[in-house]
Structure 1
Amino acid sequence: MEIIKGAGEWAPPAAGAANDWVEHFKVSDLSVGTYCIPAGGVDNQSPHTEDEIYVVTSGRARIVTPSDEAEVGPGAVIFVPAGEEHRFVDITEDLALLVVFGPAYGSRA
């Protein structure tokens, strides 16, 4: 067992950065991290080669994919399959997301 401290907690991005990604835990089959975007910020991520689950721990935004869009806030759980374009937009409150990748982030790159 391992307690993953700090996962999903809001942290402001470094000066000059649009957002912040921190990987907290990684094994071959999955990884866990936190993705933070400040209110009014820009989500500049590209599609990933791994399946992904987001859990909104704080903040509000809208997630947009080629086939759908939805308002999200604390407690929302979002599945994004590998390779699907997706972006958080209209970020009205500092957004903190617990992110789980399967398999581990970057392992299929």
Structure 2
Amino acid sequence: MIGFVEIIDAGRFAPAADGTARYAEQLRVPALSVGTYSLPAGAVDDQSPHAEDEVYHVVSGRGSFTSGGRTAEAGPGTTFFVPAGEDHRFHDVTADMTVLVFFAPAYSGRG
């Protein structure tokens, strides 16, 4: 049985002390992992493609998101799907962002 999962409130989840992006995982089962990604304004998102499909849901903040050669504005309520192996990143972050991240299957590291 899986216990209660706390999704960290955007107001309590802050970037790392050095102002860089930070990821914290809250749930891991073989088929899925869920975490919270924080990007402060002006941050560089240095992701590389993952081996898993991924869904991002922006909880707070503003910026842009590029994946598969397409760029879109990213703000509260925006959701993005990224297939496994596709290059993607947040950029032009103008307000601290908090993003829920869903990996399927569970995140195994950079692919």
TM-score calculated relative to the size of structure 2 = 0.88
Distance in 2, matches of 1:30 and 1:73, equals 24
Q: Deviations over 1:1-36 (max 9, x none)?
A: 643213463522222252100011000000000000
**Identical amino acids, percent of aligned pairs:** 48
Name 2:6's counterpart in structure 1: 5
Call closer, same or farther: CA 1:108–1:13 in 2, change over 3 Å: closer
**Runs of 5+ in structure 1 lacking a partner?**
none
Q: CA deviation at 1:63?
A: 0.4
Distance in 2, matches of 1:72 and 1:87, equals 11
TM-score calculated relative to the size of structure 1 = 0.89
**Runs of 5+ in structure 2 lacking a partner?**
none
Distance in 2, matches of 1:64 and 1:108, equals 18
Distance in 2, matches of 1:8 and 1:50, equals 25
Call closer, same or farther: CA 1:69–1:48 in 2, change over 3 Å: same
Q: Secondary structure at the match of 1:62?
A: strand
Matches within 5 A, 1:89-100: 89-100=91-102
How many equivalent residue pairs? 109
Matches within 5 A, 1:1-109: 2-7=3-8, 9=10, 11-16=13-18, 18-106=20-108
